[in-house]
Structure formats: C-alpha cells, structure tokens
Structure 1
Amino acid sequence: MKTVHLIQHTHWDREWYFTENDSKILLYYFIRDLVNRLEQDTALGPFVLDGQTVVLEDGLQVAPALRERLQALIRQGRILIGPWYTQTDFLVVGAESITRNLLLGKADCDAWGGYMPVGYVPDSFGQSAQLPLFLREFGIGCAVIWRGWCEQDVPYSEFTWCSQNGSRVTTAVLPWGYGCAKWLPTEGEQAARLLPAILEKQARFSLTDHLLLPNGNDQSPFEYGVPAMLASLKESQQDYQFARSSFTDFFKALQATGCPLPEWHGELLSAKYMRVHRGIFSTRMDIKQLNARLERFVSQALEPLLAVAGRLGLPCPQQAVENIWRGAMKSQAHDSIGGCNADRVNSMVKARLCDGLESAQQLFELNMAMLAEGITAQQTGKKIIVFNPLPHARDAHVRLTLYTPHADFCIVDAAGTPCRWQLLHDEPQDMSLIVQELSNSTTTTWYRKCDILLEAGALPACGYQTFYLQEGRAAGFDASTAGENVLENCWLRLELAHGQLELLDKRTQQRYPAVLRLVDGGDAGDNYNYSPPPEDWKISSDGCLTQWHSARGPLHDTLTLNWHIPAPADAAAREARCCNAGLHATLILSLPHDQPWLDVEVEVNNTLRDHRLQVEIPVGVTQAFHYADQPFGLIQRENQPAALQQWQAENWAEAPASLWPMQSLVMLHNGARGLCVVTEGLREYEIPAQQPDTLAITLFRSVGWLGKADLPWRPGRASGMALPTPDSQLPGPYRAHFALFPLAQAPDAPFWRAVEQWRTPACGYLDTGWSRFRTNPHGLHFPGRYSLLSWDCALHFSTLKKAQHSNALLLRGWNPGLTPVPCGQPAATGTPRRVTLAETPAGATDDVIPPGTPVSWLID
C-alpha cells in the first residue's frame, strides 16, 4: 500500500497579472478564513503558507488584529512558514540577494516562533545548480521543487542533489506541479473517481511507496474539507493510505525506507513536463539592469562604506538597509523579476527598485559627506573622498561628477602631487536644481557639470583616500586629442576597417574579426518566452556605419561609432520584408591604458516593436561546451542542448532553446584562444545553432503580450494571460554596458583579478560644502586615509556588512573559477571567525576553497 502525504498549501503570488494591492485585499479574507477554520477544528493542519514570510508581512498590513492568533497557530506547527522571505528567482537574481532572502526569512520565522526547514521552491522558472549550497549553509537538508526536472536528468522524483562544492540536500520533485490536486471534491464518491488518475501520475517517477499530494493552487483558499474526504476513502480502497502531512514528515518517511537515492550534480532547466520560460532572462531588460545595479551598489558599495563609517564612530542605519533589501526582494520574486506581468505590475516592480536605489544613494552620499566633514584637510581645495570596497589595495579609475564655475581645475593627492584625470562629459548646470539654498534665488547660478575619470593610485583595502579639487588651476597634463581608427594598449589592439571591428590580443597574436556586430531579429513571443517568427528576417549593422570619431586621453582612448540600421517597424513589416523604420545605435568603445579589457557602451533609441537586439561576438572556438557564472560560482554548459533533437517528437512543454542565464559573465575558450564577456545587468546569452563559435549577448527584446498561445517554441495554451503589455516593447532610449576580456590562456589569477576590478569599481564623492540636506556637526575626527581590514586572496569580494544579529562585521568572498584556491585569513582589528551564510559557526574549515564556494568571516 502506498502512503499519500497530503500537503495543504496556497501558492501566493504577490503580483502577476494583478497588483500587490489586489493580492493584499484578497489576503485579508484568506488569512481570516484560514485562522478561523484551524481554530474551529483542531484536527485540521498543518498548512504550508507558501514558504515565504512576506505573506505574513503583507497580511498584517490588512489584518493586524490577527497577529496573536496567527502566531499561536505557527507555534503549534499548524501553519508552516519559511524559510524564504519571498519566493525568489534563482537564475537572474544575485547570490547576495538569495543569501539575504534566507537570512531575513529565517529572522522572520524566529520572531513568529516557527520554521519549516525545507527549501520549498514551488514555482521558480528553473533551478540553479547552487541551490543545495544555499540551503546547506542555512542548515536545511531538504528541498522541494517543481520546474526544470525530468527523468532524463535524474530518473526518479526523489534524489540527492549536489552543488558545485559538494553540498548535498535530499530533494523531492512535484512532477506535475503544486496544483496537481487542487479543488478536490469533498464528496467521497466523486473523489474516488478523480483521485486514482492523479495518484497514478504522482507515482510514475516515485522511487518509493511514499507520494506527495499537494492540495492548493495560486492564491487559493484553504480546502478544509479535503482531509475528512480522504479519511472517508479508507474503507473503500486498499491501494492508498492517506495522511495529513508536511514536507518534513514526508522526508522522514523517505529516509526510513532506507532506499538509496540517485545523485544529481548541476542545474535543472528541462522543459519536458513543465515550462521554464527561458525568455524571462531578457524580458524587461530595464528591470533586470536596475535590479543588478541595486544589488551591486548595496552589497559592494553602501554596506562596505557603512561598515567603515561605523568603525569610525558614525551610526549604522541597519534598519534602513534592511528595508532596502526587503523592497528589492519583493521585486525579485519569480514573476516580478521575470517581467512576466501586466504593465501596471512591471511599473510597480521598477518603482520599488528605483525607491531602493534612491535610498541607498542617499545613505551613501550622507555618509561620504560625514566622513569628509571629519577629515582635516591636508591641502587647499575641496575634498574628494575615493572609497575602495575591495579588501585589497589597488589602483583604479574612478568616475566622478564635479560642479565648478571655473574653466580650469586640478586634482591633487594628500602630498599635493597632481593626479591625472580625463573629462568624459561637460555641460552647463543650473545649481538651483542641486542646492536647496539656491532654489529661491532671483538669479540663476550656472556651473560646469563635469563627468570625469580620476586616476587614483594605491587605494587602501576596504577604505578610503582623500584627494583635493583645486579650482582655477591648470590640470598640468595634456587633455584628450583626436585619435585614429585604432585603439591600442600593451595587451590589445582594436581596429576599425571597412565598417567592421577587429580585436587583436597582442599577447598571443590571436585575431578576433567582426566583433561587436549588432543583429536585430524578430520576436514573435511574449513576456515569458522568446519565439522566432516562422521565417525570421535578421538585420545587422553591416554597412550601416554613418560616422565615427576617436580620441586619445590621459587614461583611456575611445572610439565612438554611430549606426543607422534600416529595419522593419513591427512584426507585419518584418514578415513583408519592409524596412519602414530605423534603429539608431551608438557604440562607445574605451580601451584603458592600464588594463587588458575593452569597455563597451551601447546606446539605442528603440522605435521598433516585436524584435530582439543582440550583439554578436565571434570567438573562433568550436567546441561542445562553454562557461558562465552562476550564484557564487561558474558552470559549464553545452553549447547546443542535446534535447533540441527530440523535444518536438516527445511533445515537450517548451523548446530547450540555447538561451542561457548568467549573473554577469560568459566565456568561450580552448586554452589558447577565447573571449570572456562581463556585463553590467545583462542576464542572457545565446550560442546560435548556425554559429557555434559565436557568443550572442541579448541587449533587449521587445514584445507586446503577457502571454500568447501556440508559439513555435512553446506550443499550446498561452502562459499567464493573453493580456496586451505595450510597455514591454521598451520604447525609447536604452543603454547597455559590458566589457570584452580576451583570454591569452585558461583563466588564471591575473584574469580573475581584472574581472573583479571591472565588476567592482571604486566610488568617489566631492565635498562641495553644499548639500541638498543638512545635518548637525557630528564632532568626530577621521584620518585622511583609512583601511578597515585587508584580505588579499584569489577569492572575489561579495560583501562587507554589519552582522545580522550583532555589532560584528561580516566579510564574504567566493571562488569564481574552476580550481581550488587558498583563502588565508583577513588582517583586521578583532578576531576573524569562519561562519556560514546564515552567520552561524562554520565548524571544521579548510584554507583551500573549492570552486563555487563562498567564505564568510565574522569579525568582532
């Protein structure tokens, strides 16, 4: 006899085709009904509240009087909560966001008095290979998932899942989803006719006689009559024993069988039985970029600065930082960050991210201003504070915005030695828009707004250095001059010839012709999935260069290319092969004098609809696999999924397209030749089937529907709703930023150090003495140069922040490559202790860190 574990639950999307306002109003009635039913019948429960504590947070906004009753049920184990704060995405969202999601979710569970120790992920659009790592770091040994699994990866729906560093969790799949047993009849005879087919499907891939039966669905109320109905079937059949259960009880029963479980290593992205919606990696790319910017700025600029400021005696606004993270996580839920929402919802997702970035930038500027206030000037002029968040000293080029009434200015260090800088942009600025005191003036105060790049040498580790702006004094070096059609430094040479770009790696003499070619094709898909038109007509930038100019500067040389690409305005024009519109695009290519990378900015004015714009980067390496980054690691993937040959014959739910997610990096190399692309917020790449030696980075795609039916790459019903989403066409200006890193050999320590330099820039602040807001003097005194700690090792910096539950500092790095590296111990005032991502003692540790592994230190 098989044991059926009834799991009663709801899957609570905060927003989707409806807004969070809609769901909160519904939540009032849902929570009230759930509490009443459980209190009226003590035999009912447990009930899984979707594994995310944000449901409780939202619920108390509309039903605060229910707090004590809810808490009592949670403490009794009749309502199961956690471990997540929100049901996040795992392929688009960054590693620090996933970590903080569990950290805040666990803190919420502790406050409520209950905790479901199961990594419940019912609806993420594909599963990261690193999910076992995150769960194990938080002491969670079990996971329940849905999308991405199929028996061709691992033959059973119960298995041991291993992450890159060997972390292991016992995993159960809901092969037919969390809603496979929704809306069960409460009358026994009807249920007896319906259930056998459901249970037969549930048992199809099961390794043992223990089956999960999830009873619930999207925003569904408690089906309180189901347990009694199942109990009534006890006498009428002999095949199944039904138990009101939980995921924890299911895993206990699974373990008690003693049945050995198969192992799986890697990600789960199969679309054989369920859609994984591979197009979400590039849907609403503006939202993806904003989220990436917020994640990086908070974890790698704001929090490190607050750690430094806190050790110097300034207050730490920890609750404000936590509020920023919680707001971001509400926009990182699988639908929200996926962009597969109604336009109104996408506007709210974007607004939350903008709100978080505004708060983070204000915190950063106020703390920089307070640091500057406490520093005794060693030179004349206005103080410039340059902050280096990395835990090792470095030289850096720092972007700064200066406001000055003078035609000339000089920047010097603490010893009075002039520094080199390069003017990037110069325009007049009405200062009444910047300084509140000038807003009521009867005359306009005009300054120059100068965006510059400052050469800052020997910046201290996790610290700052003071420079000085001396206005009215000549810079003391030659400014930019006109250049030629070639950019060149010690490592690289880029040449423009006949409208195309060729990159030369001078270390190996390897040439990369026709790099950075813009290609625009049709997109007949929706917010969930890219789908090529039945007969696509692709337009490229070949022959469309209208003008170019270059400049040689003190710090880097630039080449600017302008294209006007005739193109079809929409799907109908593309089908008719009619170029009735145009795509205006600008590429700004910068080659620093002191680094082995080519910096690329793309600016596009998007007036087209129903299309996808990619930049193609031929590598000239043909092999079966490539590498991309994933949360806290690097993953090897096949260039062309083998399942492409069989998906249609087997009636898969969705094509296993060669569209892949990345955190920020993809590379194709063979040890002698190769290219790595590192991006700022771009999350999708492709290796086209007809161009297996080419990396195609998706800049953005434009679609006009939330869901469409019968797509060639996704047959059948529409995903979501057949709802127009004109904002998802992304009309107007669009900007993307990335860099090319040629590989002279297999990735080594200098390569990874250069990648870290590009991904984690130093930050600058000019203390003008003017401010939008004023604070009273704090009376503290700070040195002009300061380093909080150092940790000079091969690990990449992840964050430096205040610990969650104490005044200690938390420092984290991770191994970005594919070989083990030593990590050493940070040099800091205080005793560093290794801890987990959960900030609990790490137990036995090793100085050699495996690939794909984070290392966290708690420093008192």
Structure 2
Amino acid sequence: MKFYYFNSTHWDREWYQPYQEFRKYLVDAARELLRIFDTEPEFRRFTFDGQTIVLEDITEIRPDWRPKLEELIRSGRLSVGPWYVMPDEFLVSGEAMIRNLQVGRRIAAEYGARAWPVGYACDIFGHIAQLPQIFAGFGFEGAVVWRGTRGEDGGHFVLWESPDGTRLKTLNLSRWSGYSDFTLNVRGMLPVPLDEAAFKEKFRKFVEEDTENWGDVFVLSDAFDHATPFGETEKMFRCIRELYPEAEIIHTDYTELFDREFGAEALPVIVGEQIYPADGIRNGGGQISSTLSSRCDLKRANDLCQNELELSVEPEMAIRTAAGDVESLPLLRYTWKHFLQNHAHDSICGCSVDQVHRTMLCRYDEVRNLDRMLDEEFRLIDRARITGKHIYASIRQNFKDDKECEAVAADGCYTLRLFNPLPRPVRRTMELELPFPAHASYPYPKRRGELFGYEFLNCFRLYDAAGNEIQYQLKSVRSNQLRAFYRQDSRRYDIYTVICAPELPPCGWCGIEVRPTDAFMRSFDTLTVTPLSASNGLIRLDVNPDGTFDLTDLRSKRSYRRMNDFRIDREIGDGWNHVRPVGNRRVCGAGNAQVVLTQDGPIRAEFEITRRYDVPRALRCEGTNREAYAGLAESDEIVTLEIVTTISIDRGSEVANCRTVVRNNLCDYRLQLLVPTGISGDYFLSQSFAHLERPAGRTEGKWSESFGEPEMIEKNFDGVLGKRDEKGGIAFLSRGGIHEGGALTDENGSLVITLLRAFGRTVQTNGETEGQVQGDRCFEYALDCFGPESCFTELFSRMQELRAPVSNYMLKTEEIAGRNEESFITVSGGLAFTSLKPAEDGAPGAVILRLVNFERGMRSAAVSTARPVSRAVLCRLDETEVSELGGGEFAVTAKPGEIVTLKLEFGQ
C-alpha cells in the first residue's frame, strides 16, 4: 500500500472577507510556515495552492521574508504556481488563462525556480474541454481536478482528453471532500497538537471506507481553505506506519504521483468538459454552475476589459514590438496582472461579499484606464508617423495659444483614421463619431438647413482610400461637446455620429476622407416596409404589437418567431446557486409594449421596444403573530420592470443587432431571454478554444432528479450559442457579460439565455444589497440568421467583430504628409484567430500569433505580413520553440480542436 501525502492551503484571495482582511491571515500563515520549515527539518514540502500572487501579497507586507521564501522555492521544498491566481475557467477567456499561467511562471522565475509543473485546478467550478491541451502546452506533468468530474468515470487515476486528442494524466478528486478530503475526515481543520489515538482511529476508518475507490494507492490531500500550515507530519507518518507497517509514505507535490502511478497499463479516459453536478454518490463536491449569472455587472466589466486587451491593445503592441518599440511592454504586463487579480474564482464568480465586488469594479475601471492610455499612445504614434510632427506641435504651450484654430480645416477636409486590430478584412456596418472642431470664428465651410433654416448641419461626403464614396446615414449631432485633445488641452467639438460600412484592411490603419459638399445630405431610401417591419433583402424584421419580434431568413424562408420574450422566476439563492422557492410564480408575458422607430434610412432600420412587467417588488419572509417563521411570499408592493430592447438590421447583413437595457428595480429574481428557433435537437456553443455540442434540456435527464445538486438546463458558453439543421440556423452572439444558456425541449426549440440574477444572500452575512444589481443593466448581442454553408469559424469571427474595438481619431487632411495603409498581418483560410501579441520574452521584433481549428476536419490558414519575417517558429502555448517554418508567407494546418501558436520574428 502507498500513501501520497500532499499538504497545502487553498487560498481564496478574497471571499467571505475582503482581500486585505484575508491578507492578514495569509501573512500569519506564512509566518507559521517559515517557523515550521526552520524548526522541523522532517517537514519536506508545502504547496501554496498553485498560485504565485500569494508571494506578492506576503512580501509586500514582509519584504524581509523574501530571501527565505526564495531559498525554499529554489530547494523544491515550497511549490508555487503554475497560476498567478486560480481562475474560473468559464468566465474568463482561454487567452486570459494563458496569460495567467505565463504570469505565474514569470513570478516563479523571479523567485529563482520554475513554476510547479502541475495543472492544479482543485476548486474551480467545472472545467473547460480544452484544459488538457492548455496544460500540455505548458509542459505540465499532469492535472489535479475535483468539481464537475464523475466518480464513476474510472476512479481517481485517469487520462483527460481534449478536443484535439491531447491526453493528460489527471488525478480526479471526485469523491468525498476533494482537496480537503484528508483534512476534514482525519486530521481536522485546525493546527492543534496531534491526538495520536484519535488520529489512528479516524485514519483506519478513512482507509477502510475508501479502499474500494483508491485500491492500494491513496492520496491524502491535506489542503483546507485558508488553513494554517500543520507541521507534525513526521508524527502523522509514524502513526500511519504503526497502523500499516508495510505501507510506503511519500510526502509529495504530486510530481512523483504522475511519474509512478500512471504507468503503461491502460487507464480510463474522460473526455471534454467536466460539468457533472454533485450526485451525492459518485461526486460529493458541487459543480456550482449558477455563478455564471451572478453579479452581471462584474461579468460585463470583465468582458469589456478583456475585449480591449486581447482584441485591441495587444495587436497594437504587437505592431509596435515588430518595429522594435518595446518601451511600453512593462505597462502592458502590469495591466494584465492587475486585470488577472479579478479572475480568482471566488471573485469573478460573484459569490463573495459585496465589498469584494466593489473593489473588483474599481480594478476594472483602472484596467480600462490603462487600456485607453496604451491605445492613445498607439494613435499618437500613427499621427506622428503620417504628419511628421510630434503631438507637442499641436497643443497649447501656454493658455494664450489658439491651437484650436490651427486644428480647423479651412477647406473642410478631414480624415478619420481607423485601425482594424483583426488580421482579416472587416466590412460591417458601424457607428463612427466625426468630431468637427467647434471654433466660433471658423464654422464648417458647407452648412445647410432646411428651407427656412430650422437646424443647420455640416454637409459632407465620405470617401475611402481609393476615392470611392461611402454612403452614410446620420444618426445624431451633439454640438459644442468638450473632449480632451491631449492631457490638459481640452477642446470643443460638434460630434456627428454616422452609420456606414467602410471596408477595413486586415490589422492596419486606413483613412476615411471627409469632404464638404454643396448638396444637402439626405436620403429618402429606407429599409422599412411597414410601420413595424424592415427588410434588407437577406433578413426581414417584424415587430409584433406585444413587443416581441419575428426574424425571417429570406433565403431559406424560415421565420424565427416571438423573439424578445422574457421570463421571470423568483430567486432565493445566492452567488453560487439559483434556487426557486416552492410555489414560484413565473412571469411569462409583459403588460404592455411601446415601439419607437429610432433609425430609418438606407443603411439601418432600428426599433426601440419597451416592454413593461408589473411584478411584486421582492420576496419577504412571513411570520405568525408569535413571530415564528411561516415561509416566503411575494411582497404587496407592485413595481413596473421596464425592459428596453433596441433591435436593428443593416443593409447587406444577415445579423440583427440588439441592445437590451433592464431598468432593474426588482429584487429576488432571475431574468432570462428566450430565442425560439423552431429547430429540435442538440445545440452548439463556443467555449475557450472550442466548439462544442450539447443535447437540449438536461444532459443527465430524469436520472439527475435525485441528485444532491440539481442539474441546470442553463450551462456555460463563451459568446456563441445556437441551433442549426440542413437549412442553416440561428446563433446568439454576445458582445460580453453573458455566460449562461442552454436549450429547452419545448416545441419551439428555444434557446434560453440568463441575463441576470438578483439576490440578497451573501456568504456569512445576514444579507446584503448589491447582488440585487439595481439600476440600468445593459446587454449587447446579435442574432445571426446563417445559411447551411456557414461554418462555426465564421460565426466566431462575427462575434469577434462585435467585440473588437476600432481605434480612431480625426485630423485635417492637409496635415497628412504621407500614406501607409499596409496591413501588418493577414490570416486567411479555415482557422480562427485568437491572439496577436508581443512575445513573452519581450524581445524587440518578436510577436505571437495564435490560431485554432474549430471544425471537424483538417483546416489550413495562409499567413502573410507586410514586413519581411526573418524567422517563423511553431511553439507550444508557453512559447517554447518546437520547429521552424522559415520566413515570408506560409501556410499552417491544424487538426480538429488544435490550438496553433506561432512566433514571428521581424528584422530590425
């Protein structure tokens, strides 16, 4: 018999207490750990929960402890990493997980050692399908998982397979208490002196009850939450030897386990995502899936930051790095670290106390501030390049300078510079702001009003770089708006928002020329066909009197009816779980609706639909006249919940864009959006680096009715959710902030998407208010009516276009001394793009391009660059070089599910 003893402390950085309070406990735990290492030489190993952020948190308070920590880490007695923070896998992107592991590895190196080569995911609330491939891409020896796995899938020692076929040795802690199994069942939670007799009795029972599961190889996982290190390991080992004299005891960090217990004999294989709920028999640890919809404000803030970092700032920094400019890489690294601090699973999941989440929202604000500054720097570099002048030449040197006058184009000709961060051309309808200088002495040279001058407007036309006119639709004019030009130099502008569809070249700058015209810029063309309907030739939108709408794919003649329907369930759960009370009254229809046509032109038709639901404001706890608890009931106060959805269709597009604002004055409820498809059967979804399919309804069906944890219909997805058949289908594409959805088994074939959960319960409190997410809550998404020829990669690309910010600025055309409209990099073919970033080593000229194959067969992509590539290298995910591909243009081929990482080096 063998006993592998693993001791750690599972350290949630913030949870039922705020970060700074938990940090006091962390410093105390570190003090005790150092004492044990100094006084108990037989204490061989300890693991800091697979995270390196604990090192920063400790040494910021006690920098004098750093030399001792470095010594322990170098000697292998203290394991740290591989994560920076232990994240949630469903609520952050795959790229964010890769950055997390890269930061963890970098900090471990700063302390003198490599990061712990174990994919430790002990308390994450379920696991993505591609985690084995990600861990293998960092050279890990194996993974340790608990929540979401089945106990019946072959025991504790298994191989876990990703969609690409990668198999990783995995310790499955499925049964009992997971990573705290030994702590809770044998040793006890507190670091008190060992009672040898009691320990022996508990240990014998522990072994006898679990021999069927472990066989003759046991893992003793001693790793309770926020546990103070326990040093009497030698005494415990002596007690075990007295009970089992022939047993071998290995004080492990799991590396020996993966080396010795995953031999040549066949092992069971588990496949794909792990989201099995706790059944009380095979899996005692809850999967905890409803965190996907907790604190919708956090989810939206996270995804908007993620969009900016991954789809704007990093491609911009890659272009700068390729040119040898690495001055701002430290700031980019700092921004990522600050962002990742919100990815700890009890943080991003929204299951902590209110103060934790208030702090997180401040961090998100700071990350977006940093994103904006890096983006501004990129715009200033482009401005200096094309004008030949530093920004200092265009701003005030003193308060008497009239630099605003110099910014006015006397001829009325301006150029709007646009940057497309995606490595493929983009032609989609977008809203662009044209900031005309509002100088009182220099009005725009061409202005017209209607016959008697009711409203004077600038008259201008738009042209692309080839001189072709770009038709536009004027959405709004805001006059005399104050905007920062640069630092303290703020200026006033007349902001014209136009709707147009320019063609943006791949990963590069382009210009739209604004030229004055004598003609009054109006168009009588319209996409509307009735007062409540519009058509663009590909899809037709019909708004119904009750505020629902129908979408019809004019190519297949298929209609998707009664979109924009919502359902409201009562909520008595918390940040972890959605629970409906007994006798739940589901609200399925609105009391009334109002429809406003907000855009009516040749490019876009847009309707604003307000649906109103009269609902009891909250739940209340009822009592008797003797103040005894009698149950839950809805309050007597009735409030009107308004849900305002703006739905638009654009010329030449199969996508309907939606923006839903919930004016939330309602408490204790869950709000879901229904998308009836009329298509039966399975649905598809995106997950980090993966395209998956799931059955409609509950995967476990009626079998799960008796589970300790109910299986939810609504499960994780990362932006794309849809159904299809031989005619095509419809896909829900989220801009961000929405991560919970599924498919009902109703006759409408409905997709169901959770927008928010409002709850008052928080951990270890008598209730708090901020989980009720009061106020306006915004959700942006699109409905894509795609044809039978469309593949998942195309849907994913359209979602990226919805998410990718387009950096822009406007200047006088006469200031532009030269034009350089080349695309930095172009990717074409069947692989999806996920990242373009500076190389992790920070070398000038070195950038990383990552692609993934979402399809079922082999797919290829061609990669070309405007500047010569001196060296192209195929890498692992951690950017370890594998093989050279040469230079210049090249093609990349990937098998189904494979993630491909390329390092491109540009000569200086």
TM-score by length of 1: 0.90
Instruction: Report what 2:778 is aligned to.
Output: 735
Instruction: Report what 1:544 is aligned to.
Output: 592
Match 1:497 to one of 544, 547, 550: 544
Equivalent residues of 1:386, 1:763 under 8 A apart: yes
Instruction: Report what 1:224 is aligned to.
Output: 231
Distance apart, 1:648 and its partner CA: 4.4
Distance apart, 1:792 and its partner CA: 1.3
CA-to-partner distance for each residue in 1:23-47, whole Å, 9 max, x for gaps? Answer: 2222222212212211222221210
Change (3 A) 1:194 1:204: same
Distance apart, 1:259 and its partner CA: 3.6
The residue correspondences of 1:369-408 to structure 2 (distance < 5 A) are 369-376=380-387, 381-404=413-436, 405=438, 407-408=457-458
Equivalent residues of 1:633, 1:851 under 8 A apart: no
Change (3 A) 1:474 1:312: farther
Instruction: Report what 1:793 is aligned to.
Output: 829
Are 2:471 and 1:420 aligned? yes
Distance 1:780 1:835 in 2: 40
Change (3 A) 1:365 1:451: farther
Distance apart, 1:844 and its partner CA: 9.4
Are 2:735 and 1:680 aligned? yes
Change (3 A) 1:475 1:126: farther
Instruction: Report what 1:325 is aligned to.
Output: 336
Equivalent residues of 2:545, 2:593 under 8 A apart: no
Match 1:664 to one of 719, 724, 727: 719
The amino acid of 2:73's aligned partner reads I
The answer to which of 71-80 and 632-641 deviates more is 632-641
Distance 2:120 2:289 in 1: 21
The residue correspondences of 1:564-643 to structure 2 (distance < 5 A) are 564-572=612-620, 575-576=633-634, 580-623=638-681, 625-643=682-700
The amino acid of 1:794's aligned partner reads G
The answer to which of 676-685 and 741-750 deviates more is 741-750
User: Secondary structure at 1:292's aligned position in 2?
Assistant: helix
The amino acid of 2:458's aligned partner reads D
User: Secondary structure at 1:539's aligned position in 2?
Assistant: coil
Distance 1:433 1:825 in 2: 38
User: Secondary structure at 2:562's aligned position in 1?
Assistant: strand
Distance 1:227 1:627 in 2: 52
Distance 1:70 1:313 in 2: 36
Equivalent residues of 1:382, 1:766 under 8 A apart: no
The residue correspondences of 1:274-313 to structure 2 (distance < 5 A) are 274-312=285-323
Distance apart, 1:302 and its partner CA: 0.9
Equivalent residues of 2:617, 2:634 under 8 A apart: no
Change (3 A) 1:553 1:635: same
Report the aligned-residue RMSD. Answer: 2.8
Instruction: Report what 1:515 is aligned to.
Output: 563
User: Secondary structure at 1:834's aligned position in 2?
Assistant: strand
Distance 1:425 1:579 in 2: 39
Change (3 A) 1:800 1:312: same
Are 2:854 and 1:816 aligned? yes
Are 2:411 and 1:354 aligned? no
Match 1:271 to one of 268, 274, 277: 277
Change (3 A) 1:520 1:479: farther
User: Secondary structure at 1:178's aligned position in 2?
Assistant: helix
Distance 2:818 2:744 in 1: 55
The amino acid of 1:493's aligned partner reads R
Equivalent residues of 2:618, 2:634 under 8 A apart: no
User: Secondary structure at 2:13's aligned position in 1?
Assistant: coil
Distance 2:668 2:792 in 1: 43
The answer to which of 221-230 and 303-312 deviates more is 303-312
Match 2:201 to one of 177, 193, 196: 193
Distance 2:899 2:429 in 1: 28
Distance apart, 1:246 and its partner CA: 2.1
CA-to-partner distance for each residue in 1:700-732, whole Å, 9 max, x for gaps? Answer: 1111112xxxxxxxxxxxxx4354231010100
Distance 1:724 1:179 in 2: 28
Instruction: Report what 1:456 is aligned to.
Output: 502
Instruction: Report what 1:49 is aligned to.
Output: 48
Distance 1:466 1:204 in 2: 69
Equivalent residues of 2:12, 2:225 under 8 A apart: yes
Structure 2 gaps of 5+ residues are 279-283, 389-408, 439-443, 445-456, 622-631, 886-890
Instruction: Report what 1:712 is aligned to.
Output: none
CA-to-partner distance for each residue in 1:405-444, whole Å, 9 max, x for gaps? Answer: 35315344445554333334443454177776577xxxxx
Are 2:841 and 1:841 aligned? no
Instruction: Report what 2:611 is aligned to.
Output: 563
User: Secondary structure at 2:129's aligned position in 1?
Assistant: coil
Match 1:647 to one of 682, 699, 704: 704
Distance 1:127 1:598 in 2: 32
User: Secondary structure at 2:537's aligned position in 1?
Assistant: coil
Match 1:699 to one of 723, 735, 755: 755
Distance apart, 1:683 and its partner CA: 0.7
The amino acid of 2:852's aligned partner reads W
Instruction: Report what 1:774 is aligned to.
Output: none
The answer to which of 821-830 and 291-300 deviates more is 821-830
User: Secondary structure at 1:786's aligned position in 2?
Assistant: coil
Instruction: Report what 1:711 is aligned to.
Output: none
Instruction: Report what 1:745 is aligned to.
Output: 788
Change (3 A) 1:852 1:169: same
Change (3 A) 1:516 1:100: same
Are 2:581 and 1:533 aligned? yes
Distance apart, 1:190 and its partner CA: 1.5
Distance 1:362 1:22 in 2: 32
The amino acid of 1:841's aligned partner reads E
The answer to which of 850-859 and 607-616 deviates more is 850-859
Distance apart, 1:843 and its partner CA: 4.4
Distance 1:657 1:435 in 2: 51
User: Secondary structure at 2:882's aligned position in 1?
Assistant: coil
Report which of the two structures shows the higher radius of gyration computed on alpha carbons. Answer: 2
Equivalent residues of 1:409, 1:469 under 8 A apart: no
The residue correspondences of 1:32-181 to structure 2 (distance < 5 A) are 32-112=31-111, 113-152=113-152, 154-174=153-173, 175=175, 176-181=177-182
Equivalent residues of 1:418, 1:475 under 8 A apart: no
Change (3 A) 1:753 1:608: closer
Identity %: 22
Equivalent residues of 1:634, 1:818 under 8 A apart: no
Instruction: Report what 2:253 is aligned to.
Output: 246
The amino acid of 2:710's aligned partner reads A
Change (3 A) 1:162 1:241: same
CA-to-partner distance for each residue in 1:5-55, whole Å, 9 max, x for gaps? Answer: 110101111000111111222222221221221122222121011011111
User: Secondary structure at 1:787's aligned position in 2?
Assistant: coil
The amino acid of 2:494's aligned partner reads R
Structure 1 gaps of 5+ residues are 440-444, 707-719, 770-778
User: Secondary structure at 1:336's aligned position in 2?
Assistant: helix
Distance apart, 1:577 and its partner CA: 8.8
Equivalent residues of 1:595, 1:754 under 8 A apart: no
The amino acid of 1:679's aligned partner reads S
The answer to which of 560-569 and 550-559 deviates more is 550-559
Change (3 A) 1:125 1:757: closer
Equivalent residues of 2:416, 2:434 under 8 A apart: no
CA-to-partner distance for each residue in 1:51-85, whole Å, 9 max, x for gaps? Answer: 11111111111111111111111111100111111
Change (3 A) 1:26 1:762: closer
Instruction: Report what 1:709 is aligned to.
Output: none
Distance 1:197 1:423 in 2: 76
Instruction: Report what 1:853 is aligned to.
Output: 898
CA-to-partner distance for each residue in 1:344-377, whole Å, 9 max, x for gaps? Answer: 0011112112211111012102311331232149
Distance apart, 1:452 and its partner CA: 3.3
